[in-house]
Amino acid sequence: MISQATIDTVFETARVEEVIGDFVQLKRAGSNFKGLSPFSDERSPSFMVSPAKGIWKDFSSGKGGNSVAFLMEHSHFTYPEAIRFLAKKYNIEIEETEQSDEEKLNTDVRESMYLVSEFAKTYFHNTLLNSEEGKAIGLSYFKERGFTNETIKKFSLGYSPETWDAFTKEALGKGYKMEFLESTGLTIAREDRPFDRFKSRVMFPIQSMSGRVLGFGGRILTNDKKAAKYLNSPESEIYHKSKVLYGIFQAKQSIAKLNNCFLVEGYTDVIQFNQAGIENVVASSGTALTPDQIRLINRLTKNITVLFDGDAAGLRASVRGIDLILEEGMNVKVCTFPDGDDPDSFARKTSYEDLVAYLETNAKDFIQFKASLLMNEAKNDPVKKADLIRDMVTSISKIPDRIQREIYIQECSRIMDISEQVLTSTLAQLVQKDITEVGKKAKQEQKAFEIVKNESPVQASKVDVLYRLERKIIEILLLYGNKTEEFEDVFLRTNGEGEIETIIEKKEYKVYQRIYLSLQEDEVELANPLFRDIFNDLIQYFLQNEKLEFEKYLMHLNSDFAQEVTDILMEDERLVLHNWEGQNIIPKTKNETISQYVSETILTMRWYLVDKIIDELKNSVSNEPGSDNTESMSMAMDYYKLINSFSKKLGRVMSRYS
């Protein structure tokens, strides 16, 4: 594991504007930077970076956080991968915490396998581009397929020489150990003579989402009937074919931005589509689609469009993967190409505009696709038609969302000309029979939907006022909590003549102390659970730390806390997006009068709470004849006077909240 000291050094060294500037074109906007959102298509910038706070906020998608959060959102790194990426960028040596001998061995083995695989990728790529054999055989093959030099470089395509042990000799000569050449499957060990697994093949490196080389696919170019056309690396500590998608490293940003993933079958399908301008495409590499592969896509988008060639037998075999996609709660469409074409050949001969138009026009919802595919087989056979309908309802039963299931049942009823009642009854039997975890989740979602639906609008608006006030308190703590300000203390005192007089004393407090003492004095606890937890966490942080460093503070928060804190910290940056200063409109900054801002916020909250007490007193008044409401009315009048005193202190007339 990466040591805490290394993590601290990374956070202290990394500059958020430099990290994000590698991925987003930023322009200075006052003390901040702004740019176009990397998470959505837009023409006006809504993406803000605050170097002073060390955080960023994308107002179009709602995402935000520190440098590490950006890398996790944008490049889909895990937390350790993001830390390692930043450490490499800033030349920070990574210290590992003490591990057991077994943990060290496992880590060393995996890391050695990664290093061997990275070396192999570089070796095969250089052989393709620089050796006479590589250029004559491998490079000419890729050129025949229409791949440009830029595409070959982007996918690190390569060539493994015809000599039996060319790669193995080179790797051993560079100091790589035979055990790792063998465990990655790059070398097949024989007692007499080890040899290269991929000899005389063009090479396709298979990378993880973060870009690490996991394994290889190799295509033979000769007509040797005894040899497999395509050969993949064997399963290993780092390569599990059921958990990998070819092209995911190159496609991840486009998939997330366009909110859709095209799923194809082969390496060249991915590469040809990419070269044609459609980058959000990955391949299952000829294996049957697995839940792990689907979940990999699910990290980036909820939408999958499966692309099939026109081969009917292949369609029937591949359509089984659709149920798996539905079961993961994802939306799936299907697009087929004309007979004789596959994604590779179709993209090669079609312009970008025509390709995009074809995909948009021919992508069908899975229910329409399945019906059109199987109806020809059923034709006028009632038994086959019944089986087809049952098969379609089975697919619908895999969908976790209840509303979506209802819509698909209606669509199936229309297409198959059968009553919704029969389909719903069949669906209910299937769902009841197979109560999976997905089914449980759907019920929870439905229950939550009903609770929200039954909430009254009046309740929502009342909670909203308090929500805004409590959010403002968190904002003040985050922005000014450790600042020392002069506040007025007001208290009553009896003078020498026995008269009560008001005394105003000015005293210095830390802002967080003033807020904490004020809420304690009123015996008030924040009503919103998230704000209450953040408030308590901040108070504890201020008690233990001299200064609030935003990046470090965000680092120790859970994801819900961190997202809310980022949203609050970047709220003011909306002003910069609207270029008020360029229009000679200068927004008032809160740090000009921090103590006044704090006092006004606390007073406004007291006003709100007193207003609620008045409501309760009014509701307690009885209209029954003979009822004595004197005490309630008297208390209400006292509270009205209190509101008037708040009004004088705030310098404005206060209207009732309710």
**Residues facing 332 on adjacent strands:** 304
Judge whether 130 lies within some domain. Answer: yes
* Cβ–Cβ under 8 Å, residues 122 and 116: no
450 occurs within a structural domain: no
Domain end position, chosen among 66, 89, 112: 89
Instruction: Give pLDDT < 70 ranges for the chain.
Output: 98-107, 286, 310-319, 374-379, 433-464, 490-503, 522, 572-592, 616-658
What does residue 287 show for φ and ψ, rounded to 5 degrees? -90, 160
CA distances from 45 to 54, 245, 257 (A): 19, 33, 15
Same domain, 74 and 149: no
Amino acid at 315: L
Asked if residue 466 and residue 341 are part of one domain, the reply reads: no
**How many residues are listed for the chain in this entry?**
658
H-run or E-run covering 486: strand 484-494
Please give the Cα distance from 226 to 355 (Å, whole number): 37
Q: How many CB atoms lie within 10 A of CB 640?
A: 13
Please calculate the CA angle 128-208-9 and round it to the nearest 5 degrees: 110
Q: Note whether residue 340 is domain-resident.
A: yes
The structure's pTM equals 0.61
Question: Are 128 and 21 found together in one domain?
Answer: no
User: What is the percent of the chain where pLDDT is above 90?
Assistant: 26
Q: What CATH number is given to the structural domain containing 384?
A: 3.40.1360.10
Q: Are residues 47 and 144 in the same domain?
A: no
How big is the chain by its Cα radius of gyration, in Å? 33
- Residue 566 and residue 609 in one domain: yes
Same domain for 476 and 621, yes or no, is yes
Question: Is the domain of 134 the same as that of 178?
Answer: yes
Contacts of 349 (CB under 8 A, 6+ apart): none
Cα 253–chain centre separation: 11
Residues facing residue 510 across a β-bridge: 484
In single-letter form, the type of residue at position 404 comes to Q
For residues 407 and 516, membership in a common domain is answered with no
CATH code of 36's domain: 3.90.580.10
256 and 222 assigned to the same domain: no
Q: How far apart are CA 93 and CA 9, in angstroms?
A: 10
Same-domain status, 66 and 160: no
Asked if residue 448 belongs to a domain, the reply is no
Does residue 449 fall inside a structural domain?
A: no
Q: Considering the domain boundaries, does residue 379 fall inside one?
A: yes
- Beta bridge partners of residue 188, listed in sequence order: 195
- Residue type for position 551: E
What one-character DSSP code corresponds to residue 185? T
The helix/strand/coil state of 481 is: coil
- pLDDT (0 to 100) of residue 124: 97
> 480, 622 in Cβ contact below 8 A?
no
- Ramachandran bin of 652, using left for φ above 0, alpha for ψ from -120 to 50, beta for the remaining angles: beta
Are residue 310 and residue 372 in the same domain, yes or no? yes
User: What pLDDT does 458 receive?
Assistant: 39
CA neighbor of 108 nearest in space, from 55, 165, 179, 48: 179
Element (H, E) at 264: strand 261-264
Domain end marker among 442, 467, 491 = 442
Which residues form the domain of 50? 4-89
48 DSSP β-pair partners: 34, 57
The tally of domains found in the chain comes to: 4
Q: Which residues of 568-606 are buried (b: 16+ CB within 10 A; e: fewer)?
A: bbbebbebbbeeeeeeeeeeeebeeebbebbbbbbbbbb
For residue 94, being part of any structural domain is answered with no
Question: Do 125 and 165 belong together in one domain?
Answer: yes
- Let me know if residue 355 belongs to a domain: yes
Which 3 state secondary structure label does DSSP give 430?
helix
Last residue in a domain, options 239, 272, 299: 239
